[in-house]
Amino acid sequence: MHRVFGLTLKIPVLQFKFQVFVLKFRYGLFQFQCLK
């Protein structure tokens, strides 16, 4: 039971980290296009 709780706690954190990564990637891509 405790292991399952730890897993459910980990998933939103992973989703949040992934969203931050996507935002940074898009921002970097946008800056790169502006420099061209």
Q: Which two tokens stand for residue 13?
A: 């954190």
Mean pLDDT (the chain) is: 85
Question: What is the residue type of 20?
Answer: V
What is the predicted pLDDT for the residue at 8? 76
What is the predicted pLDDT for the residue at 2? 64
- Give pTM, 2 decimals: 0.58
* Number of independent structural domains in the chain: 1
Question: Residue 32: pLDDT band by 50, 70, 90 thresholds?
Answer: confident
* Residue 3 belongs to domain spanning: 1-36
Question: Residue 34: pLDDT band by 50, 70, 90 thresholds?
Answer: confident
